[in-house]
Amino acid sequence: MLKYDPFPLIFQGADTIKLACLEFFDLADSPQAKECLLKLIRQQLADGAFPSHLDPKKWGMDETVRNTLLMLKVGLPPEGVNVHSAVHFILSHQRPDGGWSENRALELPPERTWLSNRQSITWLTADVVVLLSQVGMGEGTECTAAVEWLRTMQSQQGGWPSLARDAGDQQNDAGDPDVTAQITFLMGELFGQDDPAYLKGKKLFEGYLDECARDVARGYRIRWRDGEKEELDVYTLAHLLLSWWLDPLCRLQRGYDVSDARVKRMMEALVDIQRQDGGWRPFFAQESSPVYTFMALKALILSGALARSDLKVDVRAYAV
């Protein structure tokens, strides 16, 4: 059981987080969910894109892809104007290599090394592949080109970076752990668990889980940049199991053995580090985050550490 109620903090978050949370608890038809969806739709621009949170006066590809996946998740039809126009916009911005990047007009903060408006982004392209599959375009030329580009981005060690790299860099790049987990399970979903890209990535994924279990056992993680010790946080404990708060290809729902002892220990540690405000914080923030609190809650439920039914009564209070 959780020590503190996480829902007050979650429902202080953005409408997208509120909507995703209500949908997760089968409350997508509730008055609050409908209000959140209406607010989301009103943000959509005439060309189908959504504003960037970095600069609301400009469109953002990340926001457009993820908001479209959320609209599908809560029941908007692929042929409806909102989803259709967003998909059309996304397709019109596919890069020559088959991937997708951010809006060139955005000024990206240098610390956001996982974003680029000059290079294709692997995790964003993977989300687009899932989106196209969900709207019946998984066999189309655009989706095929995107998948083939993702294959070329896998290193010899089996990992994927966040951004496109040249061939020389790719040979020695072990990859980004959460991006590697995301794309590994995408390849398994598309091509089966005998697919060579899946098998190489899965081997790395298991190694990442081993490392996280070691962090849990010693009670801290070691920062890769400088070897300093850091306390365990929600990102460290959940990012291998959920790529992001919606995560349309959550590996906990795609056949991964949630009874794995490593996962159990990670989830026990996640419960232990819940903060008094009911939330969790990622390592790069000092305050508890509604986004990562929802991610933590979702990981705990999908792994079996918490029962969804036990929490549904609490979340209903926010659905009216």
Q: What is the CATH number of the domain that holds 174?
A: 1.50.10.20
Residue 165 lies in a domain: yes
Amino acid letter for position 28: A
Residue 205 lies in a domain: yes
Q: Which residues contact 29 (CB under 8 A, 6 or more apart)?
A: none
Give the mean model confidence (pLDDT) for residues 146-169. Answer: 86
CA distances from 310 to 7, 208, 304 (A): 13, 31, 12
Please tell me whether residue 231 adopts helix, strand or coil conformation.
strand
- What pLDDT shows up at residue 57? 97
The structure's pTM equals 0.93
Domain range for 98: 7-316
- What pLDDT shows up at residue 168? 45
Residue 198, pLDDT above cutoff 60 = yes
Residue 126 · residue 246 · CB < 8 Å: no
Give the mean model confidence (pLDDT) for residues 12-23. Answer: 96
Residue 245 lies in a domain: yes
- Output phi, psi for 228, to 5 deg: -75, 150
Give the mean model confidence (pLDDT) for residues 256-279. Answer: 92
Residue 1 lies in a domain: no
How far, in Å, CA of 280 to CA of 294, rounded?
9
Residue 2 lies in a domain: no
% the chain with pLDDT above 70: 93
The total number of structural domains in the chain stands at 1
Residue 102 lies in a domain: yes
Identify the residue with better confidence: 230 or 290: 290
Beta strands in the chain (DSSP E): 50-51, 59-60, 220-222, 229-231
How far, in Å, CA of 206 to CA of 282, rounded?
22
Residue 123, pLDDT above cutoff 70 = yes
Instruction: Work out the pLDDT band at 167, boundaries 50, 70, 90.
Output: very low
Q: Which residues contact 260 (CB under 8 A, 6 or more apart)?
A: 209
